[in-house]
Structure 1
Amino acid sequence: MADCLFCAIVAGSLPAFKVVDSPDGVGFLDTRPVFKGHVLVVPRQHVVTLPDLPPSDLPGYFGLVQRVAAAVPAALGSQGTFVAINNVVSQSVPHLHTHVVPRTKGDGLKGFFWPRTRYAGDEEATDYAAKIASELG
């Protein structure tokens, strides 16, 4: 879709700190992460919400989400991840995306209040993306 931010990232016409680029989808760092290493996983095709994703694409897409959810703690030393999808409400970009957020006990995340942070710059974001990409192989 021509005016979709995430479609532009998938197509490579908009830069992003990608951690994985596969036939099932693309994973890249959120530019306003809850915690550093927060990855967004999107399907290659433009669909707006989870119900719009063809059932035949579910195994590949969620297999990719599962891989990223395993890679984030291994790469960053977090204890686990928070994995979430917004459908329409609180969905800032109308393209299906799954948040994979690194979590550590006592990190301060409470319920659905998601404080946001920023990377110090492109170098730090590149470093986080490279660590996660390396863990994904």
Structure 2
Amino acid sequence: LAFFYGQSRIFFVMARDGLLPRGLARVSSSGAPVRTTLFTVLIVGTIAAFFPLNEIVALANAGTLVAFAAVAVSMLVLRRRAPDAPRGYRAPAAWLVGPVAIAGCVYLFVSLPSTTHWWFLVWNALGVALYWAYAGRARPDTDHAGEVRDG
């Protein structure tokens, strides 16, 4: 359920930014992103209907590990590029924690079944292809709320 709700919110933001059809970014009268939730149900339900649970779980683990490693890399990059930027939270011993986190994620990713590695590559290649096919046409002159920027 955590992945499900998180993914529906990610789809909502992507739709709001024009990376998915903007109609998905509409919210109900209570402010809930019902359309992206239903869109996510359709995708998750379709995947669950055709793939074994252990493969879905392994693929979700792969994605989570790559995301955690990306956060650790980003933390180190931001520490280098913008050392004085205001931060709401600072990781202690970032130059120790970051590389250890990256190494741990890489180790766990490599420990996943080789079929998971292939499915992960296929899934990401499909995502990049869809991004370039649809989102590549998104208007770059709009802000995150879909408003046209001046200039």
TM-score after normalising by structure 1: 0.26
Larger Rg: 2
As a proportion of its length, which structure holds more helix?
2
Superposition TM-score, scaled by structure 2 size: 0.25
